[in-house]
Amino acid sequence: DVTLQCSDNDGLTTAQNQAPIATDNCDGTITYTKVTGQLQKGSCGSTGTYTNTWTATDTCNNISTVFTQVITVQDTAIPTWITQ
């Protein structure tokens, strides 16, 4: 889980590309499946929450429980003057 500023586009891209890691006791080969949630809008502007879910599947088609990843987008930046 991660919390980012609404202006941090690179951080959001990085967070969306991060995958959890699973292990398997018998065979180390694991395939990950990600279902990306849409942004659930927050109370202002571009704020809100992405909820992504993941499963891990081994070569014998055993599927893990669901792993949930939450990415929160917030706006805590104050306005700044640009007029001189």
| Average pLDDT value for the chain | 92
User: Residue 40 falls within a domain, yes or no?
Assistant: yes
User: Residue 62 falls within a domain, yes or no?
Assistant: yes
Beta-bridged to residue 31, according to DSSP, are 57
Helices then strands, counting H and E runs in the chain, come out as 1, 5
Q: Coil, strand, or helix at residue 17?
A: helix
User: Residue 19 falls within a domain, yes or no?
Assistant: yes
Number of domain units in the chain: 1
Residue 46 is predicted with a pLDDT of 87
Residue 55 is predicted with a pLDDT of 95
User: Residue 79 falls within a domain, yes or no?
Assistant: no
What is the domain-level CATH number for residue 12?
Answer: 2.60.40.10
**Structural domain harbouring 47:** 2-74
pLDDT, one tens digit per residue, over 17-58 is: 988 999 998 877 999 999 888 889 999 988 999 999 999 999
User: Residue 81 falls within a domain, yes or no?
Assistant: no
Q: Coil, strand, or helix at residue 34?
A: strand
